[in-house]
Structures are given as structure tokens and as C-alpha cells.
A and B are shown apart, each in its own frame.
With several copies, the nearest count.
Chain A
Amino acid sequence: MAHIPDGVLSFPVLVGGGALAAGAVALGLKKIGDEDIPRTAILSAGFFALSLFALPVGPSSVHLLLGGLMGIVLGTAIFPAVCVALLLQAVMFGFGGLTTLGVNILNIALPGAIIGSLVAPLIYRATPARAALIAGVASALCVGLTGLMVAAALALSSADYMLSARVMIATYIPLMLIEGFVGGFCISFVKRVKPELLAGAA
């Protein structure tokens, strides 16, 4: 639901999003050294694979956005990671688009980068239970912010989208809840099994 396809947004929004995203990706690339590429890449592949799983919840199923978790684990490397993932997704599966790539990167990665960088040091030092709580709230917040940004991209593109955008925000609320819980339990798992995984961004 966060992958805006080609043909919906206006040119100014596309160009603005593209420029900002390019800067963010360049920043993220600068932060990772050549020797970190395999680690970042294979972890990104893990996140990418995860985002493709349709997790059944009751009668329907959800795809996780994973912005919060990626931000916590990858820090600012989230921008290049999300960039290649969205590119691949647009090309291979037709989710999202080419012209909207920049906007989509920002929508998913920016909340993750900001919130993830803020909470990663806390999580690194916390007990598994506390870490789970922090990560859960962070994950849910990231989904909410992504929803707001998707709505904003629509509203900025055309006044006609205004009302639709508002309704769309409401559809993110269940996803916030689910992703909050799953993200929290996930970090509690990682804290117990392989805390080194959280050392990178902290």
C-alpha cells in the first residue's frame, strides 16, 4: 500500500521526491564502507524477502513495511537498501514505479532512518523486554509516518486527492498495530539470539 505506482503523482512532487531521495541515498552510501557492502546487502536481501511474505492475520493478510526494523538495524544505510529493493520490486514485480522511486524511497526509509537512528542506541543497551517495547513503538510510528507521507504526496499532487488521502490514512491504523507487535517481538528475538546484529547502527 505504500508503493505508489507511476501515473498517480504530479511532476513537481516526483522531481522533488527524486532529488531528496538521491541525496539521502548518497548520504547512506557514504556511511557504509566497501567492506560493509556484503553485510548490508545480505541483510537487505533478508528484509526484502520478508517484505514479500504475505502474513495471514485472521481473514486477511498483510505485507510488512519494515521501515522501523530496517532503520534500527541498518541506520542510514536504510536509504540505499530501500532504494535497490524498491527498484527491484518495481522492475521484477511491478509494485511501485520508476518515476515514483524517489518518493517511495523517502516514504519508507525516511521515518525508519530518523526514528531508527534515535532508538537504536537505546535498544542496544536495553533488556530484551524493554528493547521490544521501544522497537514496537518505533515500528508502529514509522508505519504511521509512512502513511502520512503517502497521503501528503497525494495531496500535494492534486487537490482532488485531498479527501481520498485522508481516508487512506485510516487504512494504515491496523497495519501500525500489527507491525508494532511483530517488530517488537522481532527485536526481542534478535536481542536474545544475536545482539551483535544491533551493534551496527547503535
Chain B
Amino acid sequence: MTHLIETHDLVIERDGTRILDGVSMHLDKAEKLAIIGSNGAGKTTFLRALIGLQKATAGRIHAFGHDRRAEKDFHDVRLRAAYLFQDADDQLFCPSVVEDVAFGPLNQGLSEDEAMDKARATLARLGLSALAPRVTRKLSGGEKRLVCLAAILAMEPDVLLLDEPTNSLDSQHVEKLVEILKNLDIALIMVSHDRPVLDRIATRALLMKDGRLEHAVLHRHPHMHEHVHIHADHDHA
């Protein structure tokens, strides 16, 4: 077993409804795995289960060389597999942006100063230095999302679990994110409805359907179609 993360017949019930009905999958080193599926299919539930935020009803989760069952088994999984929440509001809880980004590194044992430096460096890498002193509650929707991304990247995880990372990002920031994710030498699982972005990043895809993950194929072919561009008027004036 050399997979980074794998699940076997994972079953999850919530309020008596079976959401996941035997999910088996694995993630290998440096793999960029896309998970697609319709609204309510159980993608978020699955990601949360991987780091133990959602309790499994049955089945096995094996991560970083060990079986993970009880809450304490997941402590070090969470330090190595960083999770981007689907809703940015749920993820931010420190007063200022830079403190929020420094929270993960602090928990990893860095000193206050080191953690702050790392937070600032990560923000700079994403072009967000200007946000550092801002109050997290007073950011625009997209800004919150970007700060959450910085917060998990600052932990330098081995695996990224991204729940719809491009939601509410503008095209420039999507571009920047794609570049960063493509060049990162770590494994990631990315849930998204944004097909063009998945196409550019993913090396493999799975489809969540009827409570299971099925193989899906990525196949590329050249395509001709009409494309609309929107520019500011003066670009052409």
C-alpha cells in the first residue's frame, strides 16, 4: 500500500439517509485528482470524511500509511492534508487576515514570528499582501476565498483537498490559482463544477454518482466554437 490516501467501501449516513454508499478510491503521490458530480451528490461529505470531520458509518480510510478511525487518528492527517471549505465564511475565525493565515503554521509548532513571516510570504505569493492587515469579516466574497486558500497553502501540506476553489474568483485570480496548483509538486483532490479549470489541472477524474465514485475519463480533442470576449471599451477604442 503505497497510496497517499485510500478509502474502501466508505459508507456515510446523515440523518438516516445514505449519502455515500461504498466509496473506494485512492490518491497517489503528485496526482491531481478531479471529483465531479451533481449538486448534492456527496462530494463535500466525502472530502470532510477524509480528514475525519464527518464520521463514517462503515468502511475504511487509510491515509499516510495508517488506518484512520478515531478522532485522534486524524490529528496528523489534518496537518498533512489541508482542506479548503466550500464556504469561506466557515473557515475564517481570526480577527485579521494575517493572523488567520498564520493559524495553521502556529499549530504546526512554529513560533509566533516564524508563523507570521510565513503567513506574509504566502499572501505575497498570491498577490494578496495588501489584504494582510484587513479584518476578515469585511472582505468581499472573492477576497475571503483567496485568504482561505492562503491559509491552507501556508501549512505546506502534502495533500490539498479543495472544495470548489474557484468559486467567486475573478479570471485573473483563477489564472493565478491554476498556475500555482499546476506547479505545486503535491497531490491534490479538487471538487469543482468548473470544467475548464479541472481540464487544465487534473491528471485523473472521478465521478460521484449514486453514492459511489466511478472512474471518469478525461479526453481532449480540438474544438471549434464561437467565443465571446468582454473587454473594457477603451481597450479597443
User: How far does the alpha carbon of A193 sit from the alpha carbon of B137 in the complex, in Å?
Assistant: 7
Asked if B135 is an interface residue, CB under 8 A from chain A, the answer is yes
Within 8 A of B (CB), among A175-189: 188-189
How far does the Cβ of A58 sit from chain B's closest Cβ, in whole Å?
A: 15
User: Cα distance A193–B136 when bound, in Å?
Assistant: 8
B135: chain A residues at CB < 8 Å are 192-193
Interface residues of A in 157-202 (CB under 8 A from B): 188-189, 192-194
**In the assembled complex, B95 has its CB within 8 A of some CB on chain A:** yes
A189 CB contacts on chain B under 8 angstroms: 95
Q: How many A-B residue pairs have CB under 8 A?
A: 11
**Which residues of B sit under 8 angstroms from A194, Cβ to Cβ?**
137
* B96 contacts chain A at the CB level, 8 A cutoff: yes
Q: In the assembled complex, which residues on chain A have CB atoms less than 8 Å from the CB atom of B136?
A: 193
Residue of A nearest to B136 (CB): A193
- Cα A192 to Cα B99 in complex, Å, equals 13
- Residues of B near A192 (CB, < 8 A) are 95-96, 135
| Most A C-beta atoms less than 10 A away, residue of B95, B136, B137 | B95
Q: How far is the CA of A166 from the CA of B156 in the complex (A)?
A: 52
CB distance from A187 to the nearest CB of B (A): 11
Complex Cα–Cα for A188 and B135 (A): 13
Q: Which residues of A contact B137 (CB under 8 A)?
A: 193-194
CA distance A193 to B93 in the complex (A): 11
Smallest CB gap from A192: residue in B: B95
Chain A residues proximal to chain B, CB less than 8 Å: 188-189, 192-194
Q: List 11 A-B contacts (CB under 8 A).
A: A188-B95, A189-B95, A192-B95, A192-B96, A192-B135, A193-B95, A193-B135, A193-B136, A193-B137, A193-B138, A194-B137
- 4 tightest A-B contacts by CB? A192-B95, A189-B95, A193-B95, A193-B135
Given contacts A192-B96, A194-B137, 9 further A-B contacts (CB under 8 A): A188-B95, A189-B95, A192-B95, A192-B135, A193-B95, A193-B135, A193-B136, A193-B137, A193-B138
